[in-house]
Amino acid sequence: MRLLHTMLRVGHLERSIEFYTDVLGMTLLRQQDYPDGKFTLAFVGYGEESDTAVIELTYNWGTDSYDLGNGDGHIALGVDNIYTTCDELKRRGGKVTREPGPMQHGATVIAFVEDPDGYKVELIEGR
C-alpha cells in the first residue's frame, strides 16, 4: 500500500490551483469536470501521481465555502531553508500565519501558510 492523495474541498477552483501552483510551486497534474455529479477534480503535486502523493482539489459546483470546524489538520511540506521559503511565499502572495521558529516543546523549525480556503500548510525545515 501507499498514500495516493489528500482531498480538500475548495470554494474557488482556479484560485486554489493558482495558490498551489504559483505560490507553493506544485504542478497541475490533471483536471476533469464531472457534469452529472456537478463537481470538478484537480490534482496538484510535486511529482507524478505514480511516484508521489498529491493533493486532490474538489470543487462542488455552486459551493463557495466550507465550515472547516475545529477538527481540520494540515498538510506538511519539507523545505531546505524555512526563512527564505517564507520570504518567497510572501513575495508570491502567500499568507504566512505563523512565522518560522522552533515548534512548541521541541527544536524542529516550522512555519504555517494558509491557502485561499483557510487550510493550513505546515512548512518543516530539513525534511
Known catalytic residues are 122
Paired with 98 in beta bridges are: 112
**Distance separating alpha carbons of residues 73 and 14, to the nearest angstrom:** 23
**Distance separating alpha carbons of residues 43 and 55, to the nearest angstrom:** 6
Cell numbers linked to 116: 485561499
Q: What's the burial of 39, exposed, middle or buried (CB within 10 Å: 0-12/13-18/19+)?
A: middle
